Amino acid sequence: MIVCGNCGHENGDDRRFCEVCDEVLDWTGRRLSAAMVTVTPAAASVAPGGEATFQVRVFNRGSIVDNFSLEIAGAPASWSAIEPSTLHLWPNAQGDATLRLSPPRSPQVQAGTVPFTVKAASRVNPEVSVEAAGEVTVGAFVELAATLVPQTSRSTGSAEHELKIANNGNKSAAVTVAVNNPDDQLAFQLTPETATLRPGESATVKLEVGPRDGASGVQGAPQPFQLSVKAPEAAEVRLEGAYLRLTTVALQAAIDPEDSRSAGTAEHWVTVNNGGNAPASVSISVSDPQELLTFQVTPSNLTVGAGQSGRARVWVGLRRRADAGKGEPLPFQVVVRAPEASPVELPASYTPLFVELAGTLEPHTSRGAGTAQHAVTVLNRGNMPARVTISASDPEETLSFNVTPSAVSVEPGQSARVGLLVGLRQPGDWGRVDPRNFEVLLAAAEAAPVKVAGAYVPLFAELNAALDPPSSTGTGTGEHWVNVTNKGNLHAGAMISATDPENFFSFQVTPSWLTLEPGATARARLWVAPRRQPKAGTEDPRPFQVNIASNEAPAVTLEGTRIQVGPPPRERWPKGSLTLLFRWLIALAIAAVAALIAISTTDATYNVLAGSSTYPIPLVSIAVAALGVLGFLIFVPGRRWFIAIGILAAGAVGVLVIANMASLTIPGIGSPVVPSHVPTPRR
């Protein structure tokens, strides 16, 4: 058909003018390409290795001359071909091509139906392509292949062959294997006897061949046997083989154990079996490539009869203990030889068991005011368990140690931790700030001892104190200063207090608590006050103690003295014998005058009513007598009261005697007296 370029209408191929717009098609339209393809026959069968042919016909239904390319899809390109691959066709013409499918006889070509398509594509207009479908059925086949390795076996006993079977068909095959000996002198063992092989798969069958029990014609000549490999739908495969029984000695040997471990020498046993038909003179030797081991074989030579066995003992150890190394297995080889047989090599190994100790101390250096805690880590780098004892010592023998636990069991490659307490043996060893070195000893019976170094610095506070001044004198409160110095390497607190044995003083310390860094000095003020004053004009020296207590250091006691001075005496007269005599005279004179005045004024009385009686009271006499007593007491030297009282008593007695001699009536002594008149006051 022709498409109008003006209106797009599709016109027939015989039109010159468009049916719609009546435009000339030769100039303004375009011609189209069109095709059709067929495959004959649509299906066919082919056997692997054969060929199937198909006819491909292409029709050019377009209005122009066109070239068509032919391609096949679906069938593998390795066994498909189309000839010719290009057809040149005029409009409304047709052309034929031949398609050949030749599947190879190979397991890669699976049996079954293979669909395919033939595609015809226009070269003028690539958008125009047509396809036709077909299918081919590939036939199935089974083809077996087998090989025998070795074809002839030689052995004094049984021999082993390998039968390799392959399925070269394109169908799974159930394979069976049979073996036969014409002389019936051999025994066979197939493993396995049957196998199922997929296309292209192979399998190995082990064939063990040996003389049949009681066979006498086996020795000296090869014994032929035949193998038959069969599978359904497959041709039988026959193979020839032979077995030759050797008359030489056949040695078999084993070593037990193959791997030994010991801290000293290890024991191995070599067992030799003679599977031949003649006695064998066997020698046994041992060697190691690194030449680190020493060996002893007992016996090193032995005779083993046909079908018999013999044993030898092999001792293995290190030439040098230092060769234990890291405990890795050391290989060696036992060689069993006989003149009539091939040597037998037995590989083995010997692992030297050893203990290698290592230790760490955490921390390396400790500091403590009492005991310090360390942790000792014990590591066993060997390959056998070790019982390790831990101890510690110092060269100066000034430290004490406590290890808990003192012995541990450590497995190979493992570690254990123990506690170590370090302190001073004697308290007198305090005072040094330098580290005290010590060693921790790790010992085990299987290893060399290991020493781990450490250090301990004892922390201490040592107080040194002084009292400034050590002695004071005064009448009131005394002032002292307490100077405290920390000469240790540990900070310390100091509590300051003071006492005196007779509790005569009261003390006040400011401050009573001092905090001292190492090497620092601090001071506190001490006030000393008397609880009571001494006698006037006297000095009373009394000792006291200053106590400095600390949790970190020994206590310090300071001795001090306070000389307490009494108040000055209140003396108004000069001291001396004349002064004392003068004072006594004045006191006595005052007392005498007062007595006389009191006596002379006894008539000046006052009546005091007491019940039904009236008593005259000489108040003036009493007052004068009191003033006399007061004056007497004032002038008595030294305030000697007992002397003064005695003198007054004697004076009173004397006054009474004088009054009786003078016939005087003293009021209050005798009968009450009522005065007849009231005396006139004197001027």
pLDDT at 675 over 50: no
**Separation of alpha carbons 672 and 616, rounded Å:** 6
Please write the tens of the pLDDT for every residue from 36-83.
889 889 888 888 888 888 999 999 887 788 888 888 888 777 788 898
Average pLDDT along the chain: 81
81 or 268: which carries more pLDDT confidence? Answer: 268
Q: Which helix (H) or strand (E) holds 321?
A: none
pTM: 0.38
Please write the tens of the pLDDT for every residue from 409-433.
999 889 999 999 998 887 666 666 6
223 or 156: which carries more pLDDT confidence? Answer: 223
> Smallest Cα–Cα separation from 588: which of 543, 637, 621, 523?
637
> Smallest Cα–Cα separation from 243: which of 309, 319, 165, 180?
180
221 or 127: which carries more pLDDT confidence? Answer: 127
Q: Spell out where 246-326 has E strands.
A: 251-256, 259-262, 266-274, 280-287, 293-298, 301-304, 309-318
Contact 462, 428 (CB under 8 A): no
Which three-class secondary structure state does DSSP give residue 12?
A: coil
* Fold classified for 463-565: Immunoglobulin-like (2.60.40)
Local confidence band at 621 (pLDDT 50, 70, 90 cut-offs): low
pLDDT at 465: 94
Q: Which two tokens stand for residue 103?
A: 């599947």
Residue 219, C-beta contacts closer than 8 angstroms, at least 6 positions apart: 245, 247, 277
Secondary structure of 521-584 in the HEC alphabet?
Answer: EEEEEEEEEECCCCCCCCEEEEEEEEEEECCCCCCEEEEEEEEEECCCCCCCCCCCHHHHHHHH
Local confidence band at 574 (pLDDT 50, 70, 90 cut-offs): low
| CATH topology agreement for domains 33-138 and 357-458 | yes
Least confident of 386-390, 394-398, 513-517, 618-622: 618-622
Local confidence band at 28 (pLDDT 50, 70, 90 cut-offs): very low
pLDDT at 666: 45
Q: Is 322 exposed, middle or buried (CB count within 10 Å of its CB: 0-12, 13-18, 19+)? A: exposed
* Fold classified for 33-138: Immunoglobulin-like (2.60.40)
> Smallest Cα–Cα separation from 97: which of 129, 58, 52?
58
Average pLDDT score over residue span 665-679: 43
Please write the tens of the pLDDT for every residue from 184-235.
888 888 888 888 888 888 899 999 998 887 665 555 578 889 988 988 888 8
pLDDT at 29: 40
pLDDT at 30 over 50: no
Average pLDDT score over residue span 597-603: 62
> Smallest Cα–Cα separation from 12: which of 91, 86, 82, 69?
91
327 or 266: which carries more pLDDT confidence? Answer: 266
Which three-class secondary structure state does DSSP give residue 340?
A: coil
Other Cβ atoms closer than 10 A to 378: 24
**Separation of alpha carbons 185 and 217, rounded Å:** 7
Local confidence band at 351 (pLDDT 50, 70, 90 cut-offs): confident
Contact 667, 605 (CB under 8 A): yes
- What end-to-end distance do the CA atoms of the chain give, in Å? 189
* CATH code of the domain made up of 144-245: 2.60.40.10
Phi, psi dihedral angles at 447 (to 5 degrees): -145, 160
pLDDT at 678 over 50: no
* CATH code of the domain made up of 251-352: 2.60.40.2310
Other Cβ atoms closer than 10 A to 365: 15
What are the boundaries of each domain within the chain?
33-138, 144-245, 251-352, 357-458, 463-565
pLDDT at 268: 95
Contact 518, 431 (CB under 8 A): no
398 or 389: which carries more pLDDT confidence? Answer: 389
Local confidence band at 236 (pLDDT 50, 70, 90 cut-offs): confident
pLDDT at 31: 47
**Separation of alpha carbons 127 and 121, rounded Å:** 8
- Determine how β-strand 129-138 pairs with β-strand 43-46: parallel
* Fold classified for 357-458: Immunoglobulin-like (2.60.40)
